[in-house]
Amino acid sequence: MTSRLFLTGITAQGHHGANPGEKDHAQDFVVDLDVEVDVTADELEGTSDYRTLIRTARETVSATSFDLLENIADAVAQAIAERPGVITATAVVHKPAAAMSNDVMGVAAAATAART
């Protein structure tokens, strides 16, 4: 069977941004994941462990550096899609500082990747 995991509010820090100085210091990002997984048994080994998915999202945000929010989302989605048991992954990456500086409730980008 297949199922979907929704993992929301994953906090991470990274050096991303297109404006001068944005990459100088780590900024806060928040990741939401929608992950379609194979479920082969009623045990952790029979699916994709969400703790690993959370760790993968955080590591991807902190270990990469992009100008565009869209590319961060794509990198996270691709990294999650490579995990065992994952069929597809959609990552929504929020940049709270961008929202505050533009006087809006949120700034985010989404990307979807499939297992290869």
Query: Tokens 């991807």 correspond to what residue?
Result: 60
User: For position 104, what pLDDT does the model report?
Assistant: 83
Q: Domain count of the chain?
A: 1
User: Residue 97 belongs to a domain with what CATH number?
Assistant: 3.30.1130.10
Q: What share of the chain is helix, strand, coil (3-state, %, to 5)?
A: 30, 35, 35
Q: Which domain holds residue 41?
A: 2-114
* Per-residue model confidence (pLDDT) at position 110: 98
Other residues' Cβ atoms within 10 Å of the Cβ of residue 98: 18
- Whole-angstrom CA distances from 5 to 13, 15, 54, 91, 92 are 23, 27, 11, 12, 14
Mean pLDDT in consecutive groups of 10 residues from the start of the chain, 116 residues: 97 92 92 96 90 98 95 98 97 89 87 94
